[in-house]
């Protein structure tokens, strides 16, 4: 009987930073569903702000969810080595970007590299690996092969 009442009170989705999070996840794991938050950052965030990681996210009250969202928007007390945007190109400061801001900034960085015709920018434009991986045996997609090419065998010829 008590279990049925508990299931009735469980929210199916919790919305944090425009991200729908299934209600059955624990808080520590649920935060990782937000783009830009990984396991280590979620653990450090919960530890810094005394948030119970084992509590199911659907059991959090609405003010608690809003408080988590507000703290995620303005992260200041987390160590700089955990942030995903250290020494920003434009401002030079350390910040942590989330959701669409992260995607927008990443796309802008790639476009900047392409505009100045940097090696990494040209590799991005060509769809090739940018960090020194081999391309003869890997990254073989149609039309982008760099290594050896095979000739088609024609039937009847020896």
For the chain, the domains span: 9-81, 98-141
E-assigned strand segments in the chain:
13-16, 19-22
3-state DSSP assignment of residue 117: coil
State pLDDT tens for residues 7-20.
Answer: 556 678 889 888 99
**39 class by beta-carbon count within 10 Å (0-12 exposed, 13-18 middle, 19+ buried):** exposed
State pLDDT tens for residues 38-90.
Answer: 999 999 999 999 989 999 998 888 999 999 999 988 887 788 888 888 888 88
Does position 143 have pLDDT exceeding 90, yes or no?
Answer: no
Does position 106 have pLDDT exceeding 80, yes or no?
Answer: yes
For residues 7-37, b (16+ Cβ closer than 10 Å) or e, as one string?
eeeebeebebbebebebebebbbbbbbbebb
Is pTM, for the whole model, over 0.85? no
Please, which pLDDT band fits residue 5 given cuts at 50, 70 and 90? Answer: low
Asked, colleague to colleague, whether 9-81 and 98-141 share their fold, the answer is no
Does position 158 have pLDDT exceeding 70, yes or no?
Answer: no
Mean pLDDT across the chain: 84
83 token code pair: 């942030």
State pLDDT tens for residues 118-128.
Answer: 999 999 998 88
CATH topology of domain 98-141: 30s ribosomal protein s13; domain 2 (4.10.910)
**CATH architecture observed for domain 9-81:** Orthogonal Bundle (1.10)
């Amino acid at each position: 009987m008590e279990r049925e009442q508990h299931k009735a009170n469980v929210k199916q989705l919790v919305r944090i930073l425009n991200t729908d999070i299934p209600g059955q996840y624990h808080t520590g794991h649920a935060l990782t569903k937000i783009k830009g938050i990984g396991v280590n950052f979620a653990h450090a965030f919960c530890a810094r702000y005394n948030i119970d990681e084992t509590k199911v996210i659907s059991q959090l009250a609405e003010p608690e969810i809003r408080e988590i969202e507000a703290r995620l928007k303005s992260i200041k007390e987390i160590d700089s080595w955990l942030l995903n945007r250290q020494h920003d190109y434009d401002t030079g400061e350390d910040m942590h970007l989330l959701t669409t801001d992260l995607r927008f900034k990443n796309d802008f960085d790639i476009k900047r590299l392409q505009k100045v015709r940097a090696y990494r920018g040209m590799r991005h434009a060509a769809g090739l690996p940018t960090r020194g991986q081999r391309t003869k045996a890997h990254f073989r997609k149609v039309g982008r092969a760099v290594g050896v090419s095979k000739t088609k065998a024609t039937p009847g010829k020896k």
